[in-house]
Amino acid sequence: MARPRRYRSPYRFFEGKLFFPQLFGAALHHLIFFLACKNTCILHRMDRVMRLASQRAVVVFSLSSCCMCHTIKRLFCELGVNPGIHELDEDPNGKDMERALARRLGCNSPVPAVFIGGNLVGPTDKVMSLHLGGKLVPLLRDAGAIWL
């Protein structure tokens, strides 16, 4: 008499994590590879952003049609700062850099993204709160963007 087959669950534990080898097979490996490549591309774009941000004392990543970007650029000009401005809509890799900035800032609209002294200050609300609190000018002076 044949013994009845024991039910075998497709769920397995792999290094303490739930793993579905029989359900997904090669598709799971392709997904992991895709996610690893996507994260590498985002890291590569963020490296490019950081490299551009460290080239000048003040760097603004903006869009040419954004009114808040215009306000920030105007504020820096009135303070006597000559910021490096990177218009993301004019850069061939601008969309990818915008996504990397959005991920870093944790918001949907990452522009304008302001870097002072190579450090990310943030978007418009952060810059304006620093300015109204009297902390923006000392920060610019420490970064070497203004001398007075």
CA–CA–CA angle 37, 43, 48 (5° rounding)? 130
pLDDT digits (tens, 9 = 90+) for 89-137: 999 888 888 888 888 888 778 889 999 999 999 999 999 999 999 999 9
| Record: fold of 23-143 | Glutaredoxin (3.40.30)
Q: What is the pLDDT of residues 63-95, one digit of tens each?
A: 999 999 999 999 999 999 999 999 999 998 888
Give the CA distances from residue 30 to residues 25, 37, 40, 43, in Å, rounded to whole numbers and listed in that order: 9, 10, 15, 20
Domains of the chain by residue range: 23-143
Residue 26 has a pLDDT of 56
Q: Are 68 and 91 in contact (CB under 8 A)?
A: no
pLDDT at 141 over 90: yes
Cβ pair 127, 136 in contact under 8 A: yes
Distance CA 86, CA 69 (A): 11
Strand 58-62 relative to strand 84-87, pairing: parallel
pTM of the model: 0.70
| Average pLDDT of the segment spanning 40-52 | 73
Per-residue model confidence (pLDDT) at position 96: 87
Contacting residues for 130 by C-beta, under 8 A, at least 6 apart: 121, 136, 139
